[in-house]
């Protein structure tokens, strides 16, 4: 289960660009090798670990796309009404059972097998009936309203690729292609802790100077959204021996250890010492805002990530760094999430060489353009700003000044959270 080489996160200590951090992680983190077979009903969100080849064509045979009448196009008068006798009936799952010859019209329903012979289907709204005769207006094209065998999927075609995270439509296509189960990465086992003497469990009577632990809930939910099996190991006490024991025990049966808090200076931090006692720890300073300090390391050969304690920093750093890392561990394709061009309605000054994300809400302006409005309070501790926002305006490293009206990249939360 070793996904790491020894001391793989070593880095010089200077401010690191996000691209550099991601490239380093990509180079040094491997994929958890174990896979499992799951029923299609359990496959949502899992990372596919096989190519799926269709065993059948979809549709398997030519069928009708509408309710109407199947006819031979050659029987239709291009300039005048055509009258044809209705000689049979084909419904979905109930084929005509014989070829239909020239001069016949077969009553047909959506999804019904096209009888041998007819090549065109007249929609019933475009016909009228005179007893058992259908009256067809001129003007239809040959082959209309017919779905051809294999027009969706051809037998033997690869319809899904190893590394995809399975969405509802992917699972539907696997079913259409004849599959009942899929080979996926086994769930990643992630141990999640919070650290900090000021933290209390929600529900406890509030103590002076304390706050309720929110990061463990935000990060736990992000992990669940990625399909991880999360071991919620609570708030770590400020007791070095217990932290060493807790991290050591978790390393034995988890693929990733995740904490939040205590990564900036680390003086009072037993987590740092506990990781170092059993592996290595490297404090990275990323050229990003919010976020910046992040600790990467390993306990034995299990990767360890210490997220910054500030709630906004912890979620944003998770999305920017830990999410791609988890996708990689799961064997998923790590493609950058889609950003969308929107108009900024705010001005913003920023430091050069730093990637910044501004929490923003989208609305339509009078001209129908999508406009990103900045959330007024932008501290790294303002968790409500993430709740109010639809996503993040992403400002690149080389930008120093943003003027209202500028076109910016918008990263909706829906691209990176469940
Ligand atoms: N002298 C310096 N001070 C700070 C620096 C720095 O470089 N030099 N960096 C700042 C930045 S940026 C951040 S982010 C924080 C990171 O601090 P830590 O990761 O060490 O986190 P803590 O000090 O433990 O906590 C920071 C803040 O977040 C609150 N917190 C922590 N855990 C949770 C939790 N589970 N749920 C909710 N809130 C949490 C904690 O109470 C603190 O208010 O450091 C800056 N300072
Ligand atoms: O990581 Mo810190 O948020 O920039 O406060």
Of 285, 309, 381, 384, best ligand 1 pocket probe by most atoms within 8 Å of the beta carbon: 309
Cβ of 199 less than 6 Å from ligand 1 = yes
Please give the CATH superfamily to which domain 35-56+149-185 belongs.
Molybdopterin biosynthesis moea protein, domain 2 (3.90.105.10)
Q: Which CATH superfamily is domain 63-147 in?
A: Molybdopterin biosynthesis moea protein, domain 3. (2.170.190.11)
pTM: 0.88
By most ligand atoms within 8 Å of CB, the mutation choice from 262, 313, 314 for ligand 2 is 313
List all residues whose CB is within 6 A of at least one atom of ligand 2. 289-293, 308, 310, 313, 380
Q: Does the beta carbon of 354 sit less than 6 angstroms from any atom of ligand 1?
A: no
User: At the top level of CATH, which class does the domain 340-416 belong to?
Assistant: mainly beta
CA-closest residue to ligand 2 atom 2 = 291
Q: Which atom of ligand 1 is nearest to the CA of 214?
A: 36
- The full set of domain ranges for the chain reads 15-34+186-329, 35-56+149-185, 63-147, 340-416
Q: In the predicted model, is pLDDT for residue 6 greater than 70?
A: no
Whole-number pLDDT of residue 163: 93
Residue 261 Cα, ligand 1 centroid: separation in angstroms? 6
Peptide bond into 87 cis (omega under 30): no
- Domain 15-34+186-329 class? alpha beta
Q: Which long-range contacts (CB under 8 A, 24 or more apart) does 216-220 make?
A: 216/192, 216/260, 218/311, 218/314, 218/315, 218/383, 219/192, 219/258, 219/260, 219/307, 219/314, 219/315, 219/318, 220/192
C-alpha closest to that of 30 among 142, 134, 185: 185
Span 342-386, pLDDT tens digits: 999 999 999 999 999 999 999 999 999 999 999 988 899 999 999
In this structure, what are the phi and psi dihedrals at residue 415, rounded to the nearest 5 degrees?
-75, -25
CA-derived radius of gyration, the chain: 30
Q: Residue 1 — very low, low, confident or very high, per pLDDT cuts 50/70/90? A: very low
Question: Hey, do 35-56+149-185 and 340-416 end up sharing a CATH topology, with the first three levels equal?
Answer: no
**How far is residue 292 from each of residues 61, 265, 310, 317, measured CA to CA in Å?**
58, 12, 11, 8
Ligand nearest to the CA of 202: 1
């Amino acid at each position: 289960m070793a996904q790491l080489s020894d001391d793989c996160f070593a880095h010089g200590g200077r401010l690191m660009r996000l691209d550099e951090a991601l490239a380093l992680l990509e180079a040094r983190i491997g994929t958890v090798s174990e896979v499992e077979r799951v029923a299609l009903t359990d496959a949502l969100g899992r990372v596919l670990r096989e190519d799926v080849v269709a065993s059948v064509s979809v549709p398997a045979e030519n069928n009708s796309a509408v309710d109407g009448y199947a006819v031979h196009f050659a029987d239709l008068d291009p300039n005048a009404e055509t009258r044809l006798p209705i000689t049979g009936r084909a419904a979905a799952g109930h084929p005509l059972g014989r070829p239909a010859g020239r001069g016949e019209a077969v009553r047909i329903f959506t999804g019904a097998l096209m009888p041998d012979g007819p090549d065109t289907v007249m929609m019933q709204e475009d016909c009228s009936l005179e007893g058992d005769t259908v009256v067809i207006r001129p003007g239809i094209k040959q082959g209309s309203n017919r779905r051809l065998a294999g027009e969706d999927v051809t037998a033997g075609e690869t319809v899904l690729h190893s590394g995809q995270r399975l969405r509802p439509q992917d699972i539907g296509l696997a079913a259409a292609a004849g599959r009942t189960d899929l080979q996926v990465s086994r769930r990643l086992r992630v141990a999640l802790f919070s650290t900090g003497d000021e933290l209390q469990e929600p529900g406890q009577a509030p103590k002076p100077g304390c706050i309720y632990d929110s990061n463990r809930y935000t990060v736990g939910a992000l992990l669940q959204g990625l399909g991880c099996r999360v071991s919620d190991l609570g708030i770590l006490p400020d007791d070095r021996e217990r932290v060493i024991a807790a991290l050591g025990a978790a390393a034995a049966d988890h693929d990733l250890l995740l904490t939040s808090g205590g990564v900036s200076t680390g003086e009072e931090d037993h987590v740092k010492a506990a990781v170092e006692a059993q592996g290595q720890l490297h404090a990275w300073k990323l050229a990003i805002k919010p976020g910046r300090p992040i600790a990467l390391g390993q306990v034995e050969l299990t990767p360890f990530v210490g997220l910054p304690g500030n709630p906004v920093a912890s979620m944003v750093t998770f999305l920017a760094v830990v999410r791609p890392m988890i996708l990689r561990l799961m064997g998923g394709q790590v493609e950058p999430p889609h950003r969308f061009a929107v108009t900024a309605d705010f001005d913003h000054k920023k430091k050069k060489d730093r990637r910044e994300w501004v929490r923003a809400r989208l609305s339509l302006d009078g001209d129908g353009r999508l406009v990103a409005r900045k959330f007024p309070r932008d501290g790294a501790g303002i968790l409500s700003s993430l709740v109010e926002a639809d996503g993040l305006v992403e400002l690149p490293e080389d930008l120093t000044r943003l003027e209202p009206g500028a076109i910016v990249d918008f990263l909706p939360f829906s691209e990176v959270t469940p």
